[in-house]
Amino acid sequence: MDDPLTPRESAKFIAENSREVFIDGGGVRRVAELLLPQVSSPELRLEGWKALHELNPKAADEAAVNWVFVIDTLNFSFWSEQDDHKCLVGYRGKTYSGYWSLCAAINRALDEGIPITSASYYATVTLDQVRHLLRSDTDVAMPLIDERHRILNETGKILLAKFEGSFLNCVRKSEKSAQKLMHLVVENFPSYRDVTQFEGKRISFYKRAQILVADTWSVLEGKGDGCFKDISSITMFADYRLPQILAHLGALKYSEELLEKLRKGEMLSYGSKQEVEIRGCSLWCVELIRDCLLELIEKKGEKTDEEINSILLDYYLWDYARDHREDMKKIPFHRTRCIYY
Ligand SMILES: Nc1nc2c(c(CN[C@H]3C=C[C@H](O)[C@@H]3O)cn2[C@@H]2O[C@H](COP(=O)(O)O)[C@@H](O)[C@H]2O)c(=O)[nH]1
């Protein structure tokens, strides 16, 4: 079967054929202008990945790379039916929800002496052990626990069989190409194959594979094995938070009918037309914001010593969404329950 379109090609094709989700040019420019004063701040620089997030590893060694791998293998579907009744994990005096509840649970397990980042452990970890190590402080468990257990076993076995149990060996096989690493991941690890159809074409978002490459680049601080010459070819990660913040900032518009459906909290199935249009237009929207921001930087004659890429824009917008949860209430996120994002 022929390869799917790349995430960038997919997003362009979707944006050109979308009927219920639209990119607003004025909104794109406004977001670029919002970002312009930040281009030299830690929020829009690679260092921010460690400096701004206490749960992320500070080291840049093999253990840190294997931490990123197990986190991004489980980095999906944290939203709960009721937002005020959800999985929470307390760790070192703070309480974490959503994606950060996963990081807190993994760090808590490591503190408890559970070698959860070792493939030899999670290749055969039992469902009960996974339930325990991902336990919530509330009566709401982390969603899709059974799937997380299945994926840990599957992924651990493959990492042992093909990469001597360490994701760093997979990184080294990519010969410092982000694209090659992304393809090595989707070819070898089935749970990363975020591929579907749209208007008769096979399209890909590869959300977890792309964020895995990005987080590997970040944890290695863009140096040594993590010095990917083509890192700027990685696009934003099509999750359920970025569309929400892009709509909130006016760069993305939904049809009245779709907005009403989202407001009612109706589920969208993975690969459905509306879900694909939301993800694809969000991805293309961030590409346009990046282009616009680079133009503004050029005009302002302000040189940043590090190129602004879609990864850094994505990280910034995702963190911004976390800090503006209350303001974003009127724009609901779309509800798809799947293992891909
Ligand atoms: N587009 C995009 N999606 C991201 C991330 C991250 C975590 N990255 C951070 C980690 C290190 C860096 O410093 C980043 O700040 C998680 N997600 C997705 O969001 C959803 C969870 O949302 P909530 O329920 O609110 O926690 C879920 O689909 C998850 O897969 C990102 O960066 N970009």
pLDDT in tens, 56-96: 999 999 999 999 999 999 999 999 999 889 999 999 999 99
> Cα of 301 to ligand 1 centre, how many Å?
32
Mean pLDDT, residues 31-42 taken together = 93
Verify whether ligand 1 is closer than 6 Å to residue 320 (CB atom): no
What does the pLDDT look like over 141-173, one tens digit per residue? 999 999 999 999 999 999 999 999 999 999 999
Mean pLDDT, residues 106-134 taken together = 98
Mean pLDDT, residues 254-261 taken together = 96
Residue 287 confidence (pLDDT) above 70: yes
pLDDT band at 301 (very low <50, low <70, confident <90, very high): confident
Nearest CA to ligand 1 atom 32: 315
Question: Which atom number of ligand 1 is nearest to the Cα of residue 99?
Answer: 26
> Cα of 318 to ligand 1 centre, how many Å?
6
Indicate the pairing of strand 94-97 with strand 252-254: unpaired
Q: What is the pTM of this model?
A: 0.97
Question: Which atom number of ligand 1 is nearest to the Cα of residue 242?
Answer: 1
From 157, 152, 220, 217, select the one nearest 181 (Cα to Cα).
217
Verify whether ligand 1 is closer than 6 Å to residue 67 (CB atom): no
224 backbone dihedrals φ, ψ, rounded to 5°: 55, -125
Tokens 């209350």 correspond to what residue?
326
pLDDT band at 246 (very low <50, low <70, confident <90, very high): very high
> Cα of 75 to ligand 1 centre, how many Å?
8
Question: Which atom number of ligand 1 is nearest to the Cα of residue 322?
Answer: 25
Residue 96's identity, in one-letter code, is: Y
Q: Tell me how many helices (H) and strands (E) the chain has.
A: 15, 6
> How large a percentage of the chain has pLDDT more than 90?
93
> Cα of 321 to ligand 1 centre, how many Å?
10
The average confidence (pLDDT) of the chain is 96
Contact partners, residue 164, CB within 8 Å, separation at least 6: none
pLDDT band at 225 (very low <50, low <70, confident <90, very high): very high
Among candidate residues 239, 314, 319, 327, the one labeled active-site is: 239
Mean pLDDT, residues 123-140 taken together = 98
Torsion sign (Cα): 101, 311, 178, 226 = negative
Tokens of 75: 């980095």
> Cα of 32 to ligand 1 centre, how many Å?
21
137 is catalytic: no
Mean pLDDT, residues 164-183 taken together = 98
Q: Residue 305: its pLDDT value, please?
A: 63
Question: Which atom number of ligand 1 is nearest to the Cα of residue 78?
Answer: 24
> How large a percentage of the chain has pLDDT more than 70?
99
Verify whether ligand 1 is closer than 6 Å to residue 242 (CB atom): yes
Substitution site in 53, 70, 99 for ligand 1 pocket (most atoms within 8 Å of beta carbon): 99
Residue 302 confidence (pLDDT) above 90: no
DSSP per-residue string spanning 276-290: HHHHHHHHHHHHHHH
Spatial separation of the C-alpha atoms in residues 156 and 161, rounded to whole Å: 9
> Cα of 230 to ligand 1 centre, how many Å?
22
Verify whether ligand 1 is closer than 6 Å to residue 22 (CB atom): no
SS3 at position 253:
strand
More confident residue, 34 or 40: 34
Question: Which atom number of ligand 1 is nearest to the Cα of residue 238?
Answer: 1
pLDDT band at 1 (very low <50, low <70, confident <90, very high): low
Tokens of 299: 């005009």
Mean pLDDT, residues 251-276 taken together = 97
Residue 303 confidence (pLDDT) above 80: no
SS3 at position 252:
strand
